[in-house]
Amino acid sequence: MLVLYNIPHRDCGQYSQGGAADGDTYRDFVDAVAEGIGDRPATVVLEPDAVLHLVDGCTPQEYHEERYDLLKGAVATLKGLKNTKVYLDAGNAGWGNPDQIHEPLKRAGIEQADGFAVNVSNFYTTEDSIAYGKELSAKVGGKHFVIDTSRNGNGPYTGGDPDERWCNPPGRALGETPTTRTADPLVDAYLWIKRPGESDGECKGGPKAGEWWEDYALDLARASTS
């Protein structure tokens, strides 16, 4: 399983800011990824938050057309491979409404993809994620989806600053172990897309976004067995 997370203007300048310098650099990156995969089996989750941030206003309007073009091109390139499945990130059960994102997903190439991914790097329960995914699936041609269960064992955090509930929240737990045996035929897999123990950013004592945080990983594991 691979996660492509290199879209230009990534994360709107927040904790995980960065990405490719421009569109051509991103296209070269995707071509290199495709060459690296070759004919080997692979599952790719494509650009967490990239479509969501077009919808919620986080990404400036001037970048929208290019981003749709880059995502659609990435889907086409990766689906041109023999054994690669592609799931385009589609937000989570708590961010908004499927009515807001189904048309943007179509512009981003969902029709050519195998499906979409929900709850990436988030904490909404598997039950809520299935409900959200099924509602969205009905609006994008019955596409299947995968769910990130890496940290959703106790559901979302409801304390503290509402704007930072996504960032290293305490008391969370590992969710279902990765498997293709799921509770619904539309759900292709439960996956640990966000690696448990990987920091969301420098909040609540954490290291930089993406860096390993052993104490948090242990807390997730302990909470899942209590």
The number of beta carbons lying within 10 Å of the beta carbon of residue 211 is 12
Residues identified as active-site: 11, 49, 200
Distance set, CA 17 to CA 139, 151, 159, 181, 203 (Å): 31, 22, 26, 35, 15
Question: In this structure, are residues 3 and 88 in contact, taking their beta carbons and an 8 Å threshold?
Answer: no
Cα distance between residue 101 and residue 104, in whole Å: 5
